[in-house]
Amino acid sequence: MTEEAAPKHGRGSLSREKVLREAVAMADAAGGEVPSTRKLAERLGVRAMALYHHFKNKDELLDGMVDLVFAEIELPEDGVAWDEAMRRRASSMRDALNRHPWAIALMDSRADPGPATLRHHNAVIGCLLAGGFTIAGAAHAFSLLDSYVYGFAIQEQALPFENGADMEEVAAGLVTEEAAAAFPHLAAMALELTLKPGYRYGDEFAIGLGLIVDGLAARRESW
């Protein structure tokens, strides 16, 4: 195939990295929708056939986009205890998923993962093995940690509020006299926790993560 570029781009100006970064930026801006090949080509100022110089199909493009997201996640560092490394990695992964919400449904679905994806998984498994986990234990820990991070990110993105003021507006409906009588436990939680100054739902992440890491430490040797 020959590259047919629009006038604003010279021949050969397109690169694999440029295509991937533009695709990721478009997906981020769209709030979760991965761009079509046609829309991506239009944004880049080329004909759609030009993209096939770098990606043989849409799946290969998605593989590359996911690989860029994995490259943003902090890898375990040498000399850092496994539990601390897993906390850092989970927090970094949550941040990456919040930056790229479209990636949640794709992260573990790729049949042909890229080098950053493979490097990430290899490093996490190696850290757990070095921390005293068996192969089976490392698999259990990896699955549990990822399930928590993905699940929290999905829930966080689906919440009907973005800040404290929005949350107060949502929770305020639970503390009316009528609502409190019908749903006393929800009303108590709103009054005693979520409506208190300084409460952030995002802080729940570290609490849950700590419970998981403590549980993994307790089961590590029995696995």
Contact call for residues 5 and 11 (beta carbons, < 8 A): yes
Give the closest residue to 73 by CA, choosing from 164, 155, 145, 156.
145
Q: What is the enclosing helix (H) or strand (E) of 22?
A: helix 16-29
pLDDT greater than 70 at residue 162: no
Q: Which range is least confidently modeled, 9-23, 56-70, 106-120?
A: 9-23
pLDDT of residue 8: 46
Q: Which range is least confidently modeled, 1-10, 82-91, 173-182, 204-213?
A: 1-10
* Cα distance between residue 116 and residue 204, in whole Å: 29
Say how many C-beta atoms besides its own lie within 10 A of residue 140's C-beta. 17
pLDDT greater than 90 at residue 179: no
Say how many C-beta atoms besides its own lie within 10 A of residue 106's C-beta. 16
Report which of residues 188 and 96 the model is more confident about.
Answer: 96
At residue 151's C-alpha, the angle toward residues 219 and 75, to 5°, is 65
Helix, coil or strand: residue 141: helix
Please tell me what DSSP assigns to residue 23.
H
Q: Tell me the one-letter amino acid at 66.
A: V
Contact call for residues 141 and 128 (beta carbons, < 8 A): yes
* Cα distance between residue 146 and residue 212, in whole Å: 11
pLDDT of residue 9: 45
* Cα distance between residue 1 and residue 58, in whole Å: 16
pLDDT greater than 80 at residue 169: no
Helix, coil or strand: residue 110: coil
pLDDT of residue 186: 86
Q: What is the enclosing helix (H) or strand (E) of 158?
A: helix 135-158
Contact call for residues 223 and 137 (beta carbons, < 8 A): yes
Please write the tens of the pLDDT for every residue from 65-86: 999 999 999 999 999 999 999 9
Contact call for residues 86 and 145 (beta carbons, < 8 A): yes
Q: Which range is least confidently modeled, 158-162, 203-207, 211-215?
A: 158-162
